Amino acid sequence: MEQRLTAGIDIGSCTVKVVVLDGQSVVREAVVDATARPAETALRLLTDTPSCPVVATGYGRDLLEVHRNIPTITEIKAHALGARLYCPSCATVIDVGGQDLKVICLDAAGKVARFEMNDRCAAGTGKFLEIMAQRLGYPLAEFGNAALTGADALTISAMCTVFAESEVVGLINRGVDRRDIARALHQSVVKRVSAMFKRTDPLAGQVVVTGGGALNTGLIGLLQRDLGISIHAAPAPQTVGALGCAIHAKQSPRE
Amino acid sequence: MPKKYRAMWAELGLNLDNHDKLLKTLGKVYSDIFLSQVNRPKKAEYLDFVVSEVHGLRVQELVEGKKQGRKVVGTYCTFAPEEIVLAANAVMVGLCSGADFATEEVEKLLPKNLCALIKSSFGFKLGGVCPYLEASDLVVGENTCDGKKKAYEVLKGLVRDLYVLDLPHTKNENAKPLLRAEFEKFKAKMETLTGRAITVDALKRATDVVNAKRQAVHRLSALRANRLVPISGLDSLLINQIFFYEDPVRFTGQINALCDELDARVKSGTGVTDARTPRILISGCPMAVPNWKLPAIIETSGAIIVGEESCVGERGTRNLVDNSSTTLDGLMDALVDRYLKIDCAVFSPNTERLDHIREMARHYKADGVILYAIQFCAPYTIEAIGIERQLEKAGIPAIRIETDYSQQDVGQLKTRVQAFIERIKD
């Protein structure tokens, strides 16, 4: 039924995501590269969806707000809404995105209580893992598993992605096992995420990981070990922000 | 700005090329941020005029005054006692430090990782773009924070005559005698500079002038507590910034007239926005001209700023001087008492500041508090952590923002501010 349809768009720095919601069911979801014209790309993904309320979020949301009069919410609110649909008892959302990292603490009612973001530096983000996977010669999809098979043999000392990459080159040249290096790199990200998580002093409750980083089994496994609590990777984690937008479009129709 | 001022600027020794660039940028920024606002009071024309003449008319007044023997005293801190300056028939101007300029030159003298406000004051000097600095017969610094304390050692070699006020860092039993001694020393300096002895009458008249200026902004602040806010935070900040360098008597008259218009607005139910707009209290480091970055982000994100707990704002204007004494000793004591009430974070302990923030949040019906600090500012970033926690505990939403003067992080700041506004709306 067309009245129940809503759509959400998340224009991220690396990818554009679209979700179409029919009531509580996701009827369409897509993740595509951002391209040079992300707003157009996003809207094209909706061309065969019947006209319905749309809300946007992400780094590029202003493009849609200014040029297409589409209402926007921040990624923080969007991820909180999306994560709570998958996990109604979610107390914390950890969004490991392409170029940023967020920890969002929710109150008992599921509303955003506080949050922390790192959006100034690649350390702890998907970009870090992408660069390192390439350097080590792993397809991104296999990088996490490689980390899980490696040994806790070393730590990466560099904080900066660029310097860490140089450090990795040195380790490769010394013949260090690639899997051990992969593990150490994942531990670097875990360290950043864990520190941010603890700083926000979250309430007790489920921890849900969203964003592309949640597809990385190595990251999820090692983070879980480090935090000592169970964490859940959201299904279709890259689309959680867009999902949150579609939910908001339903809950808060434009006046 | 009319060409008639070029000769004056050249005579003051400004770098005309740099100065042209600065004015052009300032004009555009002002237009983008201030002139795009809707529903401004008509008397905002006064603000537009002052800014359009920021390096023109006012500077000309100072230069003419100098010819008549009125000395110009440039200052950097709300602790500089304007009453003493005026009593010596001199003029006090707050020196702007609200934008990056001549950064490469500044970083030859000061470390890169330093408060942007301090670096800006150097940038305006080294870039040769501030007519107020160049017109100053005396530049007054103050021993407040570490950064300023050490930076003034370097500034000394760059300006005609630098005087550093040594402020107490506590409010204990030694603080009052120390500040009194410093104000006496400063008074003597002003008397030497101007060749005039400061009399009881002169000091009383000067105190009246400065008190009147403060009362005008008190009126403005009170009007912003209304459910329908009659003036934007941006315009109010600008008024608080102009407070520091406009002619005090003219400022008082104009702001009172503005407040008359705002009174009428309140009575007729006219606000710059509706009563549902989230109300924000900003608290923290001062925002010097032309630092409008964070307020612009806040007020273009669907919120309105209803107060500033800042030295450029209520913290700096909250208290009047008790002008009842008829002796110099009594008047000087009253000055010291008044200035010691300023609860800047350089003081320790500084517990009254949290009380004032809570009181302001209540009084201005703030839905949330944004704690603003300039990057590298230890006093304000340290206080912000405890204050944020206490405000949240008291059920007042709060968020800490730390930034500098660059435009690089505007996107990130917008996301944080918008998320905070979403939170307080939900």
Please choose, from the candidates A156, A148, A161, A220, the residue with its C-alpha nearest in 3D space to the C-alpha of residue A190: A220
Give the minimum alpha-carbon distance from B43 to chain A in angstroms, rounded to a whole number: 31
Q: Is the pLDDT assigned to residue A2 strictly greater than 70? A: no
Nearest to B422 among A59, A73, A113 (CB): A73
What's the rounded Cα separation, in Å, for the pair A242 and A9? 5
Answer yes or no: are the C-beta atoms of A205 and A90 closer than 8 Å.
Answer: yes
pLDDT in tens, B247-280: 999 999 999 999 999 999 999 999 999 999 999 9
| SS3 call for B33 | helix
B303 residue type, one letter:
A
What is the pLDDT at residue B245? Answer: 93
CA distance A71 to chain B (A): 12
Per-residue pLDDT of B59-74, as tens digits, reads 999 999 999 999 999 9
The per-residue pLDDT for A120 is: 82
Percent of chain A with pLDDT over 90: 79
Chain B CB contacts of A111 below 8 Å: 423, 426
**How far apart, in whole angstroms, are the C-alpha atoms of residue B304 and residue B286?**
18
Element (H, E) at A42: helix A38-44
Query: Strand, helix or coil at B14?
Result: coil
With beta carbons less than 8 A apart as the criterion, state whether B354 and B387 touch. yes
Question: Is the pLDDT at B205 greater than 70, yes or no?
Answer: yes
**Which one-letter DSSP state was computed for residue B24?**
H
**Distance (Å, whole) CA A113 – CA A115:** 7
Tens digit of each residue's pLDDT (9 = 90 or more) over A26-52 = 999 999 998 889 989 998 998 888 899
Cβ(A193)–Cβ(A231) below 8 Å: no
Chain B residues whose beta carbon lies within 8 Å of the beta carbon of residue A73: 422
Asked if B423 lies within 8 A of A119 by C-beta distance, the reply is: no
Provide, rounded to the nearest whole percent, the portion of chain B with pLDDT above 90. 99
Please give the average per-residue pLDDT across A6-15, as a whole number. 93
| Secondary-structure breakdown of chain B: helix, strand, coil percentages, each rounded to the nearest 5 | 55, 10, 35
pLDDT at residue B1 in the model: 59
For the complex shown, is ipTM > 0.90?
A: yes
Note whether B422 contacts A75, CB cutoff 8 Å.
no
Examine the pLDDT at B92 and tell me if it is beyond 70.
yes
Distance (Å, whole) CA B380 – CA B286: 10
Q: Report the DSSP beta bridge partners of residue A33.
A: A15
State yes or no: pLDDT of B26 exceeds 80. yes
Residues of B with a Cβ under 8 Å from any A Cβ are: 392, 399, 409, 411-412, 415-416, 418-419, 422-423, 426
Do B412 and A117 count as a contact with CB atoms less than 8 A apart? yes
Mean pLDDT of chain B: 97
Closest chain A C-alpha to B64 CA, distance in angstroms: 49
| First vs last C-alpha separation in chain A | 22
Q: Cα distance from B73 to chain A (closest Cα, Å)?
A: 41
To the nearest whole number, what is the mean pLDDT of chain A?
A: 93
| pLDDT score at B4 | 87
Whether B423 and A111 lie within 8 Å, measured CB to CB:
yes
Within 10 angstroms of residue B292's Cβ, the number of other Cβ atoms is 22
- How does A52-75 read in b/e, with b if 16+ C-beta sit within 10 Å? bbbbbbbbbbebbeeeeebbbbbb
Res. A147: pLDDT tops 90: yes
Number of neighbouring beta carbons within 10 Å of residue B103: 17
- pLDDT score, position A255: 46
Q: What confidence score (pLDDT) does residue A1 get?
A: 46
Contact A111 B412 (CB under 8 A): no
Report d(CA B161, CA B139) in Å as an integer: 6
Give one word for B88, left, alpha or beta, with left for phi > 0 and alpha for psi -120 to 50.
alpha
Identify which of A251, A255, A231 has the alpha carbon closest to the alpha carbon of residue A243: A251
**What local confidence, expressed as pLDDT, does residue A3 receive?**
64
Q: What is the pLDDT of residues B273-286, one digit of tens each?
A: 999 999 999 999 99
Tokens of B31: 């237009």
Question: What is the mean pLDDT of the segment spanning B153-165?
Answer: 97
